[in-house]
Amino acid sequence: MSLIRWTPNLGSLTAWDDLFEDEEFGLSTRVTNNLDVYETEDEIVVRANVAGVPADNVEVVFEKGVLWIKAEKEEETKDKNRQHYAKSTWSYAYRVVLPNASMIDQNHEPEAEVENGVVTIRFKKTEASKPKKLKVKEKRGKK
């Protein structure tokens, strides 16, 4: 005999996913990844979403192969004529262990910049870690 977990109202709860995924409503319950890490031939690049936060409120720290990105912004609006008060906050925090951190050239300062709500950090690779094209020779055996 096998045990089956009892889940009351399970059938009615599963319909919510379909409702919010419906394209007519334009809503989605999916969470997307806001962090991209990739390598090019010359560098390791990290891109992170920091929408709504200016560059001077973005903090980037790289230590022992771990990259920390923290961004925060807060806005307050008061309207004494209408008894209106609004407060908005934006907060982002990322921590990522960089792949192949041993390839990073420690003699070059990483570059970090914010453009269109995305912070991009570029780490230069060492010359020794870059791919090298080898010349292939043909070996001729004795006849």
In a domain, 135, yes or no: no
Reply yes or no on whether the pLDDT at 111 is more than 70.
yes
User: What pLDDT is stored for residue 124 in this prediction?
Assistant: 93
Determine the structural domain holding residue 108 and report its residue range.
32-126
Measured in whole angstroms, how far is the alpha carbon of residue 94 from the centre of its chain? 7
Assign residue 100 the CATH number of its domain.
2.60.40.790
24 has pLDDT over 60: no
Contact between 50 and 117 under an 8 Å Cβ cutoff? The reply is: yes
Sorting pLDDT into bands at 50, 70 and 90, what band is 78? confident
* Residue 61 β-bridge partners: 68
Residue 2: inside a domain: no
Q: Helical H runs in 14-122?
A: 15-21
With pLDDT > 70 as the criterion, what percentage of the chain qualifies? Answer: 76
In a domain? residue 136: no
For residue 105, is it within any domain? yes
In a domain, 4, yes or no: no
Task: Say what the pLDDT of residue 25 is.
Answer: 47
Q: What is the pLDDT of residue 30?
A: 45
DSSP-derived pairing of the beta strands 43-49 and 58-63: unpaired
Q: Is 73 helix (H, G, I), strand (E, B) or coil?
A: strand
Q: Which of 62-71, 84-93, 125-134 has the lowest mean pLDDT?
A: 125-134
Q: Rounded to the nearest 5 degrees, what angle is found at the Cα of 133, between the Cα atoms of 127 and 138?
A: 145
Sign of CA dihedral 38, 44, 50, 54: negative
pLDDT tens digits, one per residue of 51-68 = 989 999 999 999 988 999
Tell me, yes or no, whether 111 lies in a domain: yes
The burial of 13, by beta-carbon neighbours within 10 Å (0-12 exposed, 13-18 middle, 19 or more buried), is given as: exposed
In this predicted structure, which of 41-45, 52-56, 124-128 has the lowest mean pLDDT? 124-128
Question: In the prediction, which pLDDT does 5 show?
Answer: 57
Asked if residue 141 belongs to a domain, the reply is: no
pTM score of the predicted model: 0.63
| Total count of domains within the chain | 1
**Averaged pLDDT score across all residues of the chain:** 79
Residue 58 in any domain: the answer is yes
Q: Determine which helix (DSSP H) or strand (DSSP E) holds 39, and give its type and residue range.
A: strand 35-39
